[in-house]
Amino acid sequence: METTTQTHVIWPDVELIRNDFPILRQSVNGNPLVYLDNGATTQKPVQVIRSMQEYYTGYNSNVHRGVHTLSQKATSAYEAARQQVAAFIGAQQHEVVFTKGTTDAINLVAAGFRREYLKAGDEVIISTMEHHSNIVPWQLACEERNAKLKVIPITDHGELDMEAFESMLNPRVKIVSVAWISNTLGTINPVKDIIALAHAQGIPVLLDAAQAAPHLPLKVHDLGVDFLALSAHKVYGPTGIGILYGKESWLNKLPPYQGGGDMIKHVTFAKTTYNEPPLKFEAGTPAICEAIGFGAALAYVSQLGLHKIQAYEHQLTTYAIEQLKTIPGLRLIGEAKNRAGAISFLVGDTHPSDVGVLLDQQGIAVRTGHHCTQPLMERFNIPGTVRASLAVYNTTGEIDKLVEGVRKAVALLG
């Protein structure tokens, strides 16, 4: 176990936590792996891996409607995972719709609004810092219905212009859809204020919580949000699974996203009667194993404690920013006062991809490019950034290696 020094703030259990993640024990290009690409996907603890292996080796079967033992066991585990998600976000079990991930969840809502609630002249509000998955679905909806997509501007520090947002609210706005935390800037947006302002004018709000779920305590009824989307793989779970939370009233009103098995009560060639939410939105055989792994991941995070995770990652982020600023010519892209552990930067005139390649040669994994936020890059007039994104298993020692690695990369690039 590492010891605390004046410059190293270490969570006492960090080495025990790291032991739960087998992938972290490997070397890359002859160096111990330093994994700082958690904004793209997090690594998986043995508890998640084991739960998925147990499903396939012990009770692999399709869920719902099966009367045999394996099917009943699989159904029980699958719905237990839904209940785990519901408890994690403070929702009712029937308000949790399993999806392929955040992108799929946002598309589900956008498709429903396109069919039922958008008409010519209506407006949808997003922000400048949105991921493409919270831009393109709304563009498609607006283009089809001849509605207008409006964008909340941001400041040079990477914070939402809340005065501008408030001035954009009017009876034509049918929904506000924004990220809780920017995957590029790390900005934590004032979502409670956004929701309150929108609700004051009867406008529903969707939160993209993909980046928030692993870092912040999250309770939907405390927020009062109408919809919330997140992905398992951002919060130590498997890929290919996520959820849409929707208020019961909204899930009852929205039309089905897809047709098929499980989302129906009764089918004739003349008419189909749909199932109740959440099954109404879950056509076909679901990602059963992934859902079970998702539940195990949330149980793992809950056991660690999100308040404790948040405090540790705040210290780690503060340390990382302080140390990166010691590198000559380095500039941070986004310096919001309230932020999480996604840190984007450039150094002088070096291209971010070149820096990323040289860091990889030292065993340091970061993300380079536009991070699926091209309009945000245009706002700052840059081609992309180097992004280091932190997780609960990262340490200040790894931050030191990142800073040393960037210094070496810049020296090599001249």
* Partners of 160 in the β-ladder: 154
pLDDT in tens, 128-184: 999 999 999 999 999 999 999 999 999 999 999 999 999 999 999 999 999 999 999
Is the CB of residue 383 less than 8 Å from the CB of residue 373?
A: no
Residues 330, 277 share a domain: no
pLDDT of residue 264: 77
Query: Is 1 domain-assigned?
Result: no
Q: Are residues 310 and 290 in the same domain?
A: no
Assess whether 338 and 247 both reside in one domain: no
Residues recorded for the chain: 414
pLDDT at 276: 85
pLDDT of 259 reads 87
| Distance between CA atoms of residues 275 and 269, nearest Å | 17
Q: Of 243, 354, 356, which Cα lies nearest the Cα of 297? A: 243
Among 303, 328, 353, which residue terminates a domain? 303
Domain contains 202: yes
pLDDT at 362 over 80: yes
On whether residue 368 sits in a domain, the answer given is yes
Contact 36, 389 (CB under 8 A): yes
End-of-domain residue from the set 303, 331, 355 = 303
C-alpha torsion angle, residues 108, 114, 115, 121 (rounded to 10): 160
Whether 139 and 103 share a structural domain: yes
CA–CA separation, 255 and 109 (whole Å): 9
Residues 140 and 251 in one domain: yes
Distance between CA atoms of 162 and 159, rounded to whole angstroms?
9
Domain assignment present for residue 198? The answer is yes
Q: Which residue has the tokens 């009103």?
A: 253
pLDDT confidence bin for 4, thresholds 50/70/90 = very low
Using alpha carbons, select from 309, 287, 390 the residue that is nearest to residue 37: 390
Domain that holds residue 309: 14-37+305-413
Find, among 216, 210, 214, 246, the residue nearest to 230 by Cα: 210
Token pair 């949330």: residue? 298
Distance in angstroms (rounded) separating the CA atoms of residues 373 and 382:
11
Q: Which residues of 109-120 are buried (b: 16+ CB within 10 A; e: fewer)?
A: bbbbbbeebbee
Model confidence at 48: pLDDT above 90: yes
Q: Are 94 and 124 in contact (CB under 8 A)?
A: no
Instruction: Return the beta strands (E) in 173-226 as ranges.
Output: 173-179, 205-208
Give the pair of three-digit tokens for residue 348: 């002088």
Whether 246 and 370 map to the same domain: the answer is no
Q: Do 290 and 345 have their domain in common?
A: no
Which tops the pLDDT comparison, 273 or 48?
Answer: 48
CB neighbours of 228 closer than 8 A, spacing ≥ 6?
89, 206, 207, 209, 218, 220, 244, 245
Q: Position of tokens 């003349």?
A: 270
The pLDDT of residue 263 is above 70: yes
Answer whether residue 44 is part of any domain: no
Mean pLDDT across 280-302: 96
This prediction's pTM: 0.94
Q: What is the pLDDT of residue 7?
A: 44
Taking all residues of the chain, what is their mean pLDDT, rounded to a whole number?
94
What value does the mean pLDDT take over residues 100-110? Answer: 98
In this structure, the answer to whether residues 272 and 366 fall within a common structural domain is no
The residue among 215, 208, 198, 410 whose CA lies nearest residue 306 is 215
Identify whether residues 140 and 256 lie together within a single domain: yes
- The CA distances from residue 409 to 174, 212, 333, 350, 387, in Å, are 48, 31, 19, 9, 15
Q: What amino acid positions are annotated as catalytic residues? A: 372
Q: How far is the C-alpha of 326 from the C-alpha of 322, rounded, in Å?
A: 7
Q: What is the CATH number of the domain that holds 222?
A: 3.40.640.10
Tell me, yes or no, whether 149 and 163 share the same domain. yes
Residue 309 maps to which CATH number? 3.90.1150.10
* pLDDT number for residue 6: 39
> With b meaning 16 or more CB within 10 Å and e meaning fewer, what string describes 190-206?
bbeebbebbeeeebbbb
Q: Please check whether residues 204 and 255 belong to one and the same domain.
A: yes
In a domain, residue 389? The reply is: yes
From 253, 270, 303, the end of a domain falls on 303
pLDDT of residue 10: 56
Reported as a pLDDT band with limits 50, 70 and 90, residue 58 is: very high
Residues 78-92: pLDDT tens digits? 999 999 999 999 999
For the chain, the domain total comes to: 2
| 317 and 216 co-located in one domain | no
Does any domain span residue 340? Answer: yes
Determine, yes or no, domain membership for 7. Answer: no
